[in-house]
Amino acid sequence: DAGVTQSPTHLIKTRGQQVTLRCSPKSGHDTVSWYQQALGQGPQFIFQYYEEEERQRGNFPDRFSGHQFPNYSSELNVNALLLGDSALYLCASSLTSGETQYFGPGTRLLVL
Amino acid sequence: QKEVEQNSGPLSVPEGAIASLNCTYSDRVSQSFFWYRQYSGKSPELIMSIYSNGDKEDGRFTAQLNKASQYVSLLIRDSQPSDSATYLCAVKKSGGYNKLIFGAGTRLAVHP
């Protein structure tokens, strides 16, 4: 049973560029949440997707957008990258009826 | 006041001792509580979840919840060097879909 997968594992971008991160949820899961974890901090909720719709959003600007596909996989897009966007980006999958979220390995983004 | 607060540590305990990790939360409508373990450079891994007041045991781990005091803790018995990691407390509010609110984590160091 495949767990949550994310790609790429590492990414280096420069300020102003755009980035797309990808996530495939655990088999059978239909809900995908994205989190940003800065160094030394806990993960911060960005948004959650269910049935291809953004269902809930955290306190992140519109530069952060996402998408969910019919197979439940998801993308996180960040436009106009800032140095402060450097972080570990985590995808978590769950059942919409379930309580527990399982995290993928994350994508480490460095903005120079 | 942060929604979820943890002592950042490091908490240093000798091998074989009991490690006690604490977490407080501010919102009384919180209904579900989770402990995740995160090794350096890795993603969070779920250790335990707890929903009702009292204790919940799983192997060497015991989670304790006191909703009246808005307090949740994790006890690790017979601590091993492999338990050295950052422990994240996460809270889910009632009606908040599956959005998790994390503390900043407590770093645990178990020394031989």
Query: How far apart (Å, rounded) are the C-alpha atoms in residues A93 and A73?
Result: 10
The tokens of A21 are what? 């991160």
Check A45 against B46: CB less than 8 A apart: no
On the question of pLDDT at B1 being above 80, the answer is no
- The pLDDT score that the predictor gives to residue B94 is 72
On the question of pLDDT at B97 being above 90, the answer is no
Query: How far apart (Å, rounded) are the C-alpha atoms in residues A106 and B5?
Result: 24
Q: B105 and chain A: CB distance < 8 Å anywhere?
A: yes
On the question of pLDDT at B64 being above 80, the answer is yes
What separation in angstroms does the CA of B41 have from each of A33, B88, B109? 20, 14, 16
pLDDT over 90, % of chain B: 85
Query: How far apart (Å, rounded) are the C-alpha atoms in residues A105 and A7?
Result: 9
Q: Angle at Cα B92 formed by Cα B29 and Cα B105, nearest 5°?
A: 115
Compute the mean pLDDT over every residue in chain A, rounded to the nearest whole number. Answer: 95
Measured between beta carbons, the chain B residues lying within 8 angstroms of A21 are none
On the question of pLDDT at A43 being above 90, the answer is yes
Q: Calculate mean pLDDT across residues A51-65.
A: 94
Query: How far apart (Å, rounded) are the C-alpha atoms in residues B11 and B85?
Result: 10
Query: How far apart (Å, rounded) are the C-alpha atoms in residues B82 and A97?
Result: 33
Residue B104 is nearest to which of A42, A45, A88, comparing CB atoms? A42
Check B98 against A94: CB less than 8 A apart: yes
Mean pLDDT check: name the lowest of A52-66, A72-86, B86-100: B86-100
On the question of pLDDT at A37 being above 90, the answer is yes
Segment B17-36, tens digit of pLDDT: 999 999 999 988 888 999 99
The tokens of A14 are what? 């420069």
What separation in angstroms does the CA of B9 have from each of A34, A78, A92, B88, B89? 27, 33, 26, 12, 14
Measured between beta carbons, the chain B residues lying within 8 angstroms of A46 are none
Q: Calculate mean pLDDT across residues B81-108.
A: 91
The tokens of B75 are what? 């006890």
The tokens of B37 are what? 């373990």
pLDDT confidence tier of residue B8, bands split at 50, 70 and 90:
confident
Asked if B19 and B83 touch (Cβ cutoff 8 Å), the reply is yes
B37 exposure class (CB count in 10 Å sphere: 0-12, 13-18, 19+): buried
Residue A10 neighbours by CB under 8 Å, 6+ apart: A107, A108, A110
- The pLDDT score that the predictor gives to residue A101 is 92
Strands (E) located in chain B: 4-6, 11-14, 19-25, 30-38, 45-50, 54-58, 61-66, 71-76, 85-93, 100-102, 106-111
Number of A–B residue contacts, CB under 8 Å:
63
Interface of B with A in 15-44 (CB under 8 A): 32, 34, 36, 42-44
Residue A56 is nearest to which of B45, B99, B102, comparing CB atoms? B99
